Structure 1
Amino acid sequence: MTCRMIPLIAAASVLAACEPSETVSKPVCDPQAHQTLVGKNIGEVSLPSELPQRVISPGDMVTQDYNPARLNIFVDPKGWIGRVSCG
């Protein structure tokens, strides 16, 4: 090994130590898992706070951004859930 390689090896080992040891899983939207919400009143349900979500009522303006982790909950004027989707 040449003397020029020693600083490179030292730098690589320092950078490797900075990598996170645990992988943090992001919440995943699974509309099939949330189909049980359909037919319930939005006031009766509670969802994990780490799950991105938005409740959409008739006439609400919504952004067109796509977030695959976000659960969209479509409710009628009285708050009954009609469908759920991701995005």
Structure 2
Amino acid sequence: MKPHLPLAVLMLAAGCAPADPGESPPPASTACGAERVQNYVGKQVDAVRAQAIAESGAEILRVYAEGDPVTMDYRPARLNLVTDDAGVIVTVKCG
């Protein structure tokens, strides 16, 4: 049973290695274009929703209020507009 332990450790370590070490993902702040729409912080989300997705170039838009339950899956191409209870944007980020 013990001779198989090193093999198991190697298999686990190989599963953690990146698929292509020469290719790195885009920075989180630029993958969805969040840096291009930071000027919408402080504005009512319903008034700028369409413009934000168009100007950012993001593939997906997610709008939610602070404290709302959201999925934890990370999608670099998704633009997140986080609002307060009044619908005013407080954070613009990718993910």
TM-score relative to the length of structure 2: 0.57
Q: Counterparts of 1:35 and 1:41 in 2: how far apart (Å)?
A: 13
**Aligned residue type for 2:61:** Q
Q: Which of 56, 62, 83 is the matching residue for 2:64?
A: 56
Equivalences for 1:37-56 in 2 at 5 Å?
37-45=40-48, 46=50, 47-48=53-54, 51-56=59-64
Give deviations 1:11-69, integer Å, cap 9, x for gaps. xxxxxxxxxxxxxxxxx511110101111101111233x73010111331100101000
**Aligned residue type for 1:63:** T
Q: Post-superposition, which runs of at least 4 consecutive aligned residues in structure 1 deviate over 6 A?
A: none
Residue segments in structure 1 that go unaligned for 5+ positions in a row: 1-27
Q: Counterparts of 1:60 and 1:69 in 2: how far apart (Å)?
A: 21
The alignment status of 1:79 with 2:87, answered yes or no, reads yes
Identity of aligned residues (%): 42
Q: Counterparts of 1:68 and 1:33 in 2: how far apart (Å)?
A: 15
TM-score relative to the length of structure 1: 0.61
Residue segments in structure 2 that go unaligned for 5+ positions in a row: 1-30
Equivalences for 1:19-38 in 2 at 5 Å?
28-38=31-41
Q: Counterparts of 1:58 and 1:83 in 2: how far apart (Å)?
A: 9
